[in-house]
Amino acid sequence: MRKYFAAFLTVTIMISALSACTGTHQSEMTTSATDTDNFESLSLLINQRLSCMQAVARFKAVNHLVIEDIAQENRVLARSVSRAKALGLDAASVKPFITAQMNAAKAIQYRYRADWLIKPQLHQQPHHLDDLRSKIATLGDKLLVTLHAVLTDGTVMDDRRHRQFIRIVNQHHLSDEDREQLFNTLKAVKLNTNAPDIHNLTTMEDPAMSDKIPAHTEQLNTINQKILAPGESLPAVKLKDGSRVQTGTVATMLYNIMLYNQGERGAIERELELSVPTLIRIGLFELFPVDEWIAGYNPGRRFVGERAKAWLEHQR
């Protein structure tokens, strides 16, 4: 097991700077639990994703491409619904929300194109569409993880949350009707009640372990994208003992511990919890015993140790 863990430590942590495509400040992506909650983080991510649309519209205008690309929309929808299901969201309820985001994105692009017919502003060299789509996909993945955290927190999307959403989601050329449609479809998203409780590790069964696939491997495929540069991906690999594990889990765990220590909670806690079965499988807690993780003054390391201890005690 130790040799498997050593191999994982060689993974380079390529933390993608999820800076805005246009006009969203970096501070919006580094808010801690003391500054914001999961709903506000979700609203900021929706706004930032939409901020990319001016750059997308510019590239399409310069290269004489149509705004509506049905084949691309179908790919985005299928990928997003698949990742939402892996995270424990109800596919039927999340699909209208994803569609509403795509419709709002197209509306923003059309309105920019209309502006440029009267006052062309296409002299700037546009970012390549492939790069923009990679950034948008990365933001979309983080958005779904945060949405799951919002729902598991039991956040009520009442009038106060509606006002908060309208205040934050404020991209140029996003109409009031667009915002209402986004909020209404967001409010309708539900958790998949048939999915296992991925946050109560002390009571969760782990049938996947017997098949040498650690629990939550599929979810980790989405979560671990956060450490990658746009356009990169991490595979699940088969080890010599037949185990299949998601690469990047140790690197993502270290990154999430850093965020935890900076005060982030909610989604970060859940991502750390989901990593525990894989960390056990690769021998992390044989190399560094659980009690060592719990001891000391590093709160994120202690959190992981406590969750691992709970998991191991349940498996006995």
Domains and CATH numbers, the chain: 2-14+196-315 (no CATH), 32-187 (1.20.59.10)
Residues of the chain above pLDDT 70, percent: 81
Q: Residue 155 and residue 101: Cα distance in Å, rounded?
A: 21
d(CA 101, CA 88): 20
Q: What is the pLDDT of residue 239?
A: 77
pLDDT tens sequence across 122-181: 667 778 888 898 889 888 888 988 898 899 888 899 999 999 999 999 999 999 999 999
Q: What is the pLDDT of residue 205?
A: 39
**pLDDT tier, 212 (very low <50, low <70, confident <90, very high otherwise):** low
pLDDT digits (tens, 9 = 90+) for 14-46: 333 334 464 444 333 333 333 458 899 999 999
Q: Give pLDDT, residue 125.
A: 72
**Using an 8 Å Cβ cutoff, are 136 and 49 in contact?**
yes
**pLDDT tens column, 64-108:** 999 999 999 999 999 889 888 877 899 999 999 999 999 999 999
CA atoms in the 13 A half-sphere facing the CB of 166: 13
Residue 126's pLDDT is 76
Give the per-residue pLDDT at 203: 36
DSSP state of 226: G
Do the beta carbons of residue 77 and residue 95 sit within 8 Å?
A: yes
- pLDDT computed for residue 198 by the predictor: 45
| 35 backbone dihedrals φ, ψ, rounded to 5° | -100, -25
CA distances from 7 to 142, 212, 247 (A): 27, 18, 10
pLDDT at 202: 38
98-123 pLDDT, tens digit per residue, is 999 999 999 999 999 999 988 887 66
Q: For residue 54, is pLDDT > 90?
A: yes
pLDDT for residue 237 is more than 80: yes
What is the pLDDT at residue 27? Answer: 36
pLDDT of 304 > 70? The answer is yes
pLDDT computed for residue 282 by the predictor: 84
pLDDT at position 219 is 82
What's the chain's average pLDDT?
Answer: 80
Mean pLDDT score, 223-232: 80
Q: Residue 211: what pLDDT?
A: 52
* pLDDT reported for residue 39: 92
pLDDT tens for each residue of 252-276: 999 899 989 888 888 888 889 999 9
Q: Specify whether the CB–CB gap between 312 and 304 falls below 8 A.
A: no
Q: How high is the pLDDT of residue 241?
A: 75
Tell me, what's the pLDDT at 187?
96
Query: What's the pLDDT score for residue 36?
Result: 53
Q: For the residues of 11-59, what is the DSSP string, one character each?
A: ----------SSS--GGGGS--TTT--HHHHHHHHHHHHHHTHHHHHHH
Lowest mean pLDDT among 3-17, 112-126, 231-245: 3-17
What is the pLDDT at residue 177?
96
Q: Which residues pair with 246 in a beta bridge?
A: 236
Chain length of the chain: 316
